[in-house]
Amino acid sequence: MEFETLKEVLMNPNYDHQMTSEKADASIQKARERLMGYVDEGDEESAYNICQEMWGIEPDWVMELM
């Protein structure tokens, strides 16, 4: 199954931390804020790895957070 959005990944029943729509939206917003903090601090490695840090998934979705 291929996902179109990060939110779909987070809401997937096969995902360890399956989320409701509202929880996924809140988690994505929190990740955006954390990502921007890393960017402001010049911490590129942490910014790149935000998806792993937040949800244990590949960094493929980081661009959707920007």
Question: With 80 as the cut, is the pLDDT of residue 17 above it?
Answer: no
Tens digit of pLDDT for each residue in 23-59?
Answer: 999 999 999 999 999 999 999 999 999 999 999 999 9
Residue 15's pLDDT is what?
A: 79
Residue 11's pLDDT is what?
A: 94
CA distances for 63 relative to 13, 20, 28, 47, angstroms: 23, 22, 12, 10
Query: Phi and psi for 59 in degrees, rounded to 5?
Result: -75, 5
Quick check: 45 and 30 in contact, CB under 8 A? no
Question: With 70 as the cut, is the pLDDT of residue 1 above it?
Answer: no
Question: With 90 as the cut, is the pLDDT of residue 22 above it?
Answer: yes
Question: Taking the model in full, what pTM does it have?
Answer: 0.89
